[in-house]
Structures are given as C-alpha cells and as structure tokens.
Amino acid sequence: KVKAQLEEKEGKTFDVFTAVEFKTQVVAGTNYFIKVHVGNDEFVHLRVFRSLPQENKPLSLHSYQSSKAKHDELAFF
C-alpha cells in the first residue's frame, strides 16, 4: 500500500517490491519497520505508520532508508 508513496519520493518505479522482514512499535497507532527487496541486491527500509482504527486514516510512509543490503539490520529509525 505504500509502494506508490516510495516511488513518488524516490522518483522511480520498482519492478520488485517484496517485504522480507518487519518489526512493530506501538505508539498512538503502530509504526511498522519493513525491509523491502527492490531488485538485484538492493533493499530499502521503510517506516510505515498505521493510525488508530477510529481515526480511519490510510497507511502512510513516514520515512525510509535506501541503499540497504540484505544483511543490514532492520532497526528503529
């Protein structure tokens, strides 16, 4: 659901976009930290926010880290 948001921020499209790992952090909603394979040996770490159900807002890409490798640890950021 956040692929288009990342593509807009990066100014490119991703043929491959596969989540391979994730962690969660409960705040006033939930932060999802997701490691995504975007092709070749490239990975991106995403921070996606899901608001509380009563707020009825869509998932939002809060921030991301590009140029990651498969072995890079997925950490809170």
Is residue 75 included in any domain, yes or no? no
**pTM of the model as a whole:** 0.86
Token pair 């926010």: residue: 49
Please name the residues in contact with 54: beta carbons below 8 A apart, sequence gap of 6 or more.
none
Question: Is residue 77 situated within a structural domain?
Answer: no
Tens of pLDDT, residue by residue over 5-52, are 999 999 999 999 999 999 999 988 999 999 999 998 999 999 999 999
Rounded to an integer, the average pLDDT of 60-64 is 93
The answer to whether residue 74 is domain-embedded is no
Taking the C-alpha atoms of residue 28 and residue 12, their distance in angstroms, rounded to an integer, is 31
pLDDT number for residue 1: 83
* Domain count for the chain: 1
Q: For 13-52, b where at least 16 C-beta lie within 10 A, e where not — what string?
A: ebeeeeeeeeeeeeeeeebbbbbbbbeeeebbbbbbbbee
